Structure 1
Amino acid sequence: MTLLCKFKRIHPSVDEEEVEFMETTEQYFNSSLKIILSPLYINRIFCDMVNQIDNNVEIFERNGSGWILDEVKGCDIRTAQFEILKGGCSCIIPSHLKNKNAIVNPDNKENDCFVLAFLICMHGDSVDNRHRGIISQYEKFKTHYDFSSLKFPTSLKDIIAFEKRHKHIKIGINVFGIDQEEQLNVLRLTPHANSRTHKIVYIQDAFKQHGHYMSILNFSRLINRQGHHRKFVCYNCLNTFGDEKRLDSHQQLCFEFKTQKVSVPSVVDGKIPFCSFESKKLSNKLKCNFVIYGDFEAMLTDDNTSTTSIDKHKISGYNLAVIGPNKKLVHISKYRGPNSIDKFIDEESASESQVNLQASFCIQRNKIHIAMKQLSLEEEYDFSMADSCHICEHDFDHQSIKVRDHDHNTGLFRGAAHRECNAS
């Protein structure tokens, strides 16, 4: 659920000659994703979503420097069919993963692939390394565990129950999946940090109802894209690190958030499309009134702590410039000497205070953003005939909301745009 709210706040007059004015802004508030498994839960879950958004609005008003809710401009509720993950049958390992020799595929015909994948993780070192996928080798180990709570095909809910049933031997099970682009992602992480963790991958067959569980015996080799050196992997975001110390430092912050995976745009013809200046009309972007430019200078020094011959950059100075409205130079300075970082932070704070004073003056002068002026007949015709957004250059479709974009400083019409592009 997404709520579009309009807030306002009053700027009181500084002296008797000035008149107080009102400033407005719009803000989106989103609820978390909810899974509804029965119609009986709809009302309760809907109330939870409403309460969550109400709390977010209250937090914004409390921390937003005087903002007050003025009106609710829109509400968007989106639903999608939820498919419960279940593993059974058999499946083929994608070729780019199979060649890494990090996954063992249980060669079974029944729906108990999770049981076999788990046994391979637990006892794969006790059998012939060349034939780890032969399931008959693991029959003798089945009596060591209680599989009575599992249903076949096995869902993530069943895996959680199985893990709790065996908490006395400290078993943790992480489940990873393969998305449509055949990239690894996180489906489930064990909450037991001190347990013996086993890694299982779930692969969905496009032509079958259920997927297939397989064992991951070398996660570093599976996720490593280049080279053969061992990598230390953060299971929460799937980032890799060269040593365990860096991994521990990263995980202290990473595990405060939900599982996630960093994704970057693919390079096409040597360029990143999203970041390419050629694919974006920069002239259609609203420019900031103030911009701070900082440029550091560094010297190369020998790094005696490294085992390889490398040079270390040591900061020796900086240049700082603040550009204001109409490309006017507001502040400029430079420094060369020791403690450059501390000097830069102190001066940046002083520059920020100077920028705030000038920004307050601009707000008092302009009072509020200039409303859009009435469109001419030619501009109305251009808007009605526009079939693509003049900001992102993507076409309008049946779900797009086409709006009129204007310059907030002049009030002049700039072109037709998506509502999302116009608000960003």
Structure 2
Amino acid sequence: MTPLALMIGGCEGIIEKMNTNGSGWVIVRVNCIDLNIAVGQRLRFYSGHASNFELPPLLKAKKAVINPPSTGSDCFLYACLAVLHHGDENLRKNPQRFSTYKDWLNDINLSGISLPVGLNQLNRIELLNPRLCFVVFSWSSSNGVSVLRQPRVEVACSRKVVLLLLLNKSANKDEEDKHWCGIVSLDRLLNSKSGLYHRKWCERCLSSFVTDQKLSEHREQCYRSNEFAVKERVPTEKRSVLSFQNYFKTIEAPFAIYADIEAFNSPLGPHTREVMHQKVEEMEVSDNEQVCSTRSSSSSSSHVQARPDEGMVTGKTVFITEHLPAAGGFLLVAREGMKGPPLKDQGQVKLVSSSNPLECMETFLHELERVAREVYEWNRRHSYQTAEADTIASQIFSESSNCHYCDRQFTDTNDKHYDHDHLTGKFKGAACSRCNKLAQLRRRFLPIFFHNLRNYDMHLLFSTALGNMKNWKLSVIPQTSERYMSLRVDFPIAEITLPKGKKKTIFFTLQFLDSFQFLNAV
């Protein structure tokens, strides 16, 4: 079977699974398939292992891992030999040559072990080699080093520990798709130049210590039980209580937007209706079932998708209409008492309408971005008001002995600060230096409230124009795979030059929130 046939068969299987076991979406047709084929040199794999494996650049730079030579499936043998004899001068100079290891090939007994070696075979290899104990780690550029196999207590105390690294040679994470490497310095592998440069690490739980004496004392405790060891994180006496620190979230935003989207029911096309009727017949739906119009989300492109309301049985519903967005509107509201001129769109309802649903939603989102840029410029110019001189406020500040945020007492190291509102200039209270820094006004933030956003408006946004907004980075808080509680959008709004000449991009945040979810808190 050709690769193209395999790809088509896989797509058909995914579509069938989605139609029968999914959320009720119906695939009408595929408009286009974009197939990109790249010509390159093929890697030669042996039983899931690469004979010409290259270490990732980050690992290679640490010089703590030896990538042994391999004919395909014997990389485990050469990785162990590299660890056992890493002090040999010839091995240090030529770790990739097979001739370097020829005198040590009988040092490890692999009788009856099938190659390539997997993690489940290490217990048997330890029985064949009474003087060895294996500890296995994994590594990724995002998560760093983690323990895959810890040494057993009764084995590790009397044997030489061999540290091995099991790496993925490709994006596939199956166990057969691994490559064994030898770790010659665990400290060098885990240490970094930022704070952990000369620390000693325990190979069983990855705890770090400053001196060898502290490490040896820890190992006596760590190797007392065969239970899976974890890092001991005991809070200190000064930090034994967690306290609220996100004080910036308690500060009211300078501006907020209240928005809504209106849609109309549109009949589905004849082709779409025919496909849906066929699906109902295949599932043996009786003739007396009710044909209902459901609220669904759909794009305005050449293919139509319908989604049933929650609670309806997917296989027993025929969709004859769809909801298409026709208009969107929003109102920009400013916080009371702010100093500075009002914005142009402040207090006025802005309406966007079009007969084309995609064009309507794109224009609506572009208008929101335009207002966000105006809010950013206003905050940059007018949100740094100085504190107002007030006799009563000055008296309260001088008599205060505790921070009005964290209630900690002011000391020589915990300075007292005059905390004021940077939008109105009014005094808020006496704050310690730590809380005064945490309670910063979010000047690159604009909340946008929709009523019932989670159940309705969010579907219209995602099914039409959100994917066409350039430079918008989306992040959601999902409730299900198709229902989101809130949506966050970050887009670049400015660029600044740092002292050393580097450029830094400034992002603005649009937070789409559902006001309907706040009713339970009232």
- TM-score, normalization: structure 2? 0.36
Structure of greater relative contact order (alpha carbons < 8 Å, 6+ residues apart)? 2
Give the structure with higher Rg (CA): 2
